[in-house]
Structure 1
Amino acid sequence: MTQDATTRTAPAAGQVEDDLEQVVRTGGQLAAAMNGVLQGKPEVVRTSIIVLLAEGHLLIEDVPGVGKTMLAKALARSIDASVHRIQFTPDLLPSDITGVSIFNQDQRRFEFRPGAIFANVVVGDEINRASPKAQSALLESMEERQVTVDGQTYPLPDPFIIMATQNPVEMEGTYPLPEAQRDRFMARVSVGYPEPASEVAMLDQHGASSPLEDLQPVTDAARMARVIAAVRRVHAAEAVRQYVVDLATATRRHPQIRLGASPRATLHLLRASRARAALNRRDHVLPDDVQAVAGTVLAHRLLLTSEAQMARQSPSTLVSEILQRTRVPGAATPRTAR
């Protein structure tokens, strides 16, 4: 697992302000472009941008037809970078994703033909309709940002993000994602049905043509790399880092949770908190940042006990309960997450 460095050379105050300004400006431009396509879902759009800035991957789960693929494609088209789409189907092969070595008759040697995973932004549509074997082809690329084929390792481009959509597991023709793969997604969001007013606006805007056709890039891969580097430099005090660990530990000790948050989840929670702090023009992480992203970062990784499932508990509810019970740095008593 990639280590998140906590000791860095402190940049000058003016440089910090410039970096934060660039983060806020880029985030605002991405949000404006995406909100023009996805009506009435600003929080979902903001979470997507946070995951992008935090170098994570996003899982978009909901029923068909609510705009999951639209959200992923809107983010992809907002960035002037390489974009590939993978349509996950039951007959998809791992080599379709990672690539394959083909023997060149003229040169008498094998040549590597890159698969669809070799792009800055990868849109994985209906990821849980592919077989577990094809799903597992993403594991190395999601964690190590590389692909190994026939013993040869190939690095993936930078920046790199996978935005995958999936239907709920009770839908026909779906395969549940393995725990190891769910844990590699930094966050999971649910688009949900739009408000009536937003749906009316959608009918007006999408009736004649798709707004994606008119969406122009607002940034490029090089600028995104600089912005992501600025997010890495956002300071997280020792007390905040301990708070992140305390939340993860609480999920492992909760009597209704069979499998709690992994150390990778702890790292993802801190990175997402840094990205939210930077978008709010702060060079340091607050507990409020951790609380704001905890639900989307932790809930999809938790496995509940059979008793909790029978009681119709949800991982999101238990994360909210843990946030209320865990002492916040600088507070005398635990407080409810904002």
Structure 2
Amino acid sequence: MSWIRPVLLRPRAGLLIVFAASIPVGAQIRKWTSPAESESSSLNPHTFTPYTIVSKEPVSSTSSIFTLRHNTARAEPDDLKDVWKKAVWSIQVKQPQLQIARAYTPLPPTTPAGSETEDDYGNLRLLIRKEHNGEVSTFLHRLPEGSAVEIRGPNIELEIPDDVREVVFLAGGTGIAPAMQVAHALAARPETRMHILWASRRKEDCMGAKSDSSDVIKPGRLSGWRSLFGLEEPVVIEDYRGEDTQPGRIVRELEALREQSKSSSGNGLSVDYFVDEEKSFIKPGHVSKLLQPATLQPRSLKGTRLLLVSGPEGFIEYWAGRKLWADGREVQGPLGGVLSQLDLKGWRVWKL
């Protein structure tokens, strides 16, 4: 047997499979950790599998959606469909020259939950930002369409409890991808409610977006005098010329998820947008309001309530405290940051 150089995972770049005791992992998802199962599947968590970049769609000056397809056009196993319904998961993409891997969270299918086709599950879509000094993201952005890449997974980061009733998701930057996975999974579940607070650095990332909450105001002189007189209006993210524009790709997909959730569950998804460039930031008050009983569903409805945080390391640390490494694995660590100072009675916090 030839010697194979191991692929290294940069700290906080490649996510390991770590679970909380309070949110057990189902047997169906655990099947992915079996080497015997991986041998017959095109995508498996043990070995890297060749995929082809079939398209690269720019969504901003720094980010693109990469669509990957298995080199043999082989459909993914049925178990992956169950993963879409039950879990937040990621895959690892290898940079072959440096022999390192980076974890990325696939975007959900664009077709409504429950009506996906084989193509929806056969393709993997990744929202990838070209990071400064990011070895893997720079490598991927340089590749033309038709190039081969190697991936492995899925890596399950969180199984969504069957009895979940409410989800508040704090997303920073490309941390919107796991939020969209959760929204897709909940769209087919009745009596659930989800609210996403998405913070972006640049307005180009969420062009044309409109927040659902009336107390999220577009910054600037107009919003200032309107707020003085109580004339609140949703945020409308404008383009570089200060003009309203059509929603960007990610915003359109969030709007589609919102419509799917309303039609299927009657409760649904709501999204608020915040932009650093516009001096609009998620504040503790925004989160506290969503945790109050009157904001979402009556507490008489039993079920799990999740408060999820995903995004850059600094974003997660600010809101929930730093994740830690123990015995070669990334673990949750103690709750810290802003959330540790809020009344979280009845809510489970999870850092993604």
TM-score by length of 2: 0.26
Higher strand share: 2
Q: Which has the higher helix share?
A: 1
Q: Which gives a bigger RCO, structure 1 or 2 (Cα 8 Å, sep 6+)?
A: 1
